[in-house]
Structure 1
């Protein structure tokens, strides 16, 4: 050990003892004296570990117990760290550690450093963080037991001058890959770096003096801009992604950090923004996302994305108690075609099948490509479970025609397995298993190309489709006919009109209830053909009665909402002209649900019909969206009280109140009132007493064929309407 180093340490010891003075010693002074007395032994111990004596001239010395608590603190420590001995003794040495120090060990307690010392960062009382060189040694008692640690710190000189720092920082900013934008207190750009010009296209001459709005894309909402503005006004740094605009007008995504610089008075002097062009990262992220969620061959969603979308739909279905379905479609003959014509042809064929399937589905339906020759279709919302079978038929029908690929006319088939949620399951994997089972069984069936997982649903769907097929045949086979239910005046008892009602006489089933086949017609779009047939048949019958010398009253025909479009007046005008029927001989009955669908368009159509001389009746009044607000807007001439409100008359208090309210409202609006479903004299008497104009029901007659209605007209059959 060098004598100079030892002499230096002894001098420090004597100086410290002199500073203690000759007065009565305190416990702290005694502790410090003990520490300094051990210093020579500690120096010798450090020297034995190869520490250069020239480095053992500490600027600060402190003593720790084995737990790391300060027991001794010399004046050098007070000078270096700014804490007095009274403030330091008793604290754990960790109070000197910087807040962001990630070292998991307490260096002061471990003397075996590779070099005999360690360079560390420690925090002063002022908050400044300084670099120091740390050397330490064990302290032993008379029995050679380790009782603590002697720790010495040397201040390390700052390797850079202030001028060097400024130059270095400026060079780093200028050469950074990140764009740097600095504005003054007036938000004017005062400095940019090379990366700013490279990323945005603006040179210093073009940018300096402007505001950051130079880069504004205009696509962010007000709330977003408020957050950025808050950061520029010193309310804390902001980090995030912003869409910027380059000089050439191109939009680009950027990762941005915005913060402020304050002067010695705490006022904001400058704002700086650091940003990076992350277009490449976004593009890579999008490619990764696409690879993870889409089939590489067809571009359709894959099983991963299908599972995500199904998961969201199942959560929503549980909350709203809605239904949905999952279909698995397996394409036949793909393997044979690929083996014969090559995999390229097979792949192109799969892509074309995906395109055909997409055209057969609604926008909201999800079409996904599973493995091999299998597709999946998620119907995230269906009104009726049987609708899934209609979709399955559409998918299979799209493959009926040969598909031309590279000059080859290729014919493929498909079988479809259908599972319905929540009945068959509430988790995507379970539903896929059910659909796979159904697909496999459908492939073994010769009856049809689709199969529900649930046997009950399978039977219902097949019955639904069978009914649709037979109804289409009924149109051409003359199985449909119109029956007429008279409307009778409650004042005179005479027939004032009739409602034309569609009936289906099935060759095997007999009479099929309209409650069975009308919903099927509505769901499949067949209602348009049926509605057209009903109008033409009603006009034909009116013509036949006229030619037979029968003076027929007004005939009411029910219209579906699907028929009520802008072309309806023109179609009716052409029909009336062709048949020779007068407009006042036809009344059109509509339902309340039509009134809330595109009000302005509906009113325009109604006004055209009324201008033609036709009357409009509102059927089943009180069961839908009834309100004066609607009724006063529409040129309705007749209100029909639904049979559900008539059945309880005159005994049910609620039915009486509703019927009275409807009649009162209709009379205020000067509308004719027809009560449906009147079956008893008591019901008739009550309605007549309210001021109801007409009744329709079994009390006078059920719906009858045209010949029977004609007989009623010839006989001038009447209803006895005297009060009961």
Structure 2
């Protein structure tokens, strides 16, 4: 005992040995009592009584606690009280009293004093700061956690609620238990990278598993901290499965918001900033002092109009929150994108008293997406548009030409004998040559035209708004002349030439695939006839017959080779502004001819009867895809599948469709069958009978291309239809042609009188959309919303929090 006290005498702890019977007396005091201006001898010899050192205001409670301590079975007592130094100062001490021996009614105990004056003086502002943080946490709905050694060392109430647990149930639970097994490797790797210091923080998504085994989608943001002296991961997460978040009271220490990379702003109801965290200053450039008392309008970028902000605050007032992407401006004037969540904080009476905004800078993600987008649509070597972008621009050019009546020219170019140069002088020289050719081609056309590199030494050019064929020939001749000038690369004078094939819209073809194919055919003709020249496409009858025979043979093999793809074109509800359905459309990924549109093979498939197996493929693929989307937890929508006239005449059509729905497990309400108006009127009685049988199953029914088949009103009244689709030929000129307007208005009125919804096809402009909404059309479909796209791309329309930002304000 003496050795232990001797060790303590050397440290900051003051030791007192007491004997307590009828009275209390000190038998030993450590020398470091001198820090308070007293000597050990003074206290042991009772020249100064210890009771006189205790602050008068604390003396009664100290003595009371000691008495209760002696009368209880406790072995130790902790308390804090003030003592007065010899110079009159007041110091706070933390006291630990420990019973060492008890002899009848006499107690021998030791008291250890630690000076806590500095800590006590600091507690007041710290508590105030913690109260501020706590009020912020109570106003947000974000889950907060600390992970250490693969376990949850801390979770807040909202975190536990997200996963369906009580807060105490999640403490020390393994992270693995709340993560879908397929995603655990991702989560574990991101935790490891932060713990080991590879990255400071990270934001990502994973699929979580609730206590009831429900799978949810989680967005998580976290960074590394030291927690109780060891590395840990601290962060926030939100459940993004639901579109709305419940306001929850959260409790979290100040460390969370000091460490998070998300900016946090607290304002009063008048919009004055009351508090910001360090991340706010880092992102915006405004210090805390500069921001306090200001309105968040100091960050306004002027990229959004007044209606955007009116809609935002309308949502906040109605639902209590808003979240979305917004552009703001830093202090230095730079604009940047951020993901922002604003929540209203209400008191017990439901009155809004504050607003909390949480945001993070998504500039890097935005730039990364732009880079990826650029790389996806541009050739890495020359910087020219690639094949994908060429097709997009050609589609747009065809749409414009169809409206304006202007001509379009497609040029396919191939360098003559390029392979010989590449093989002889090497790929670096070949690459440099291709870059110089790209510049010559770009300099040979107008700014509005397009030069594209398709791959290798093959290029393509789109010439728009062509006045005559002669103008196209002049461009071709200019290119041939520019190619005659030798190219000097590394002391080599290279003489090059090119062969050019030309196809024209509308004389040679009506769609992009045909025009590209015909230009390619003309280019090979130019090569065969001696190179260094151009040729205009001139089709021949025997060539078409041969092509038809070849196409038929390849069409028969296409299903076996799995060359058909199903694309989906969304349908937009004009009332809600949301995607509520899609039309399944078949495409052919031809191994030799590339991506073929239905117009190039569907007529042939109908003539040969191959449309039946192709139609069966589309039906099964669309139903299975829709069920897969639903199984993923995505929004349920109705998928439309077209039935050709040949398919509709099949006697076993009902059995085929029933078998498909049963095998796939899809609710019939999520399938819509479309037949053309011309198919419906071929055999009216059979049509009525067949459609009624489908209707009994709960399948949705639609008439496609309405207005082109001359069906009678009496027939329409007998058909159990859900939808009519106005043919796009009436929509094309709806904003300018009075006849089209009259027809469309009549169809809308008729369909509504019959209780049938109306879908307008081929909507390509906002003016068309505005007109249709004004005249109470129910739904629209067309390139204004989206072209037909692959299933993976279409999934974005089904996400719970997805909005068609460009259009919601016009149709909402």
TM-score class, shorter = 0.3 to 0.5
Please give the TM-score of this superposition, normalised by the length of structure 2.
0.35
Please give the TM-score of this superposition, normalised by the length of structure 1.
0.39
Q: Which has the larger radius of gyration?
A: 1
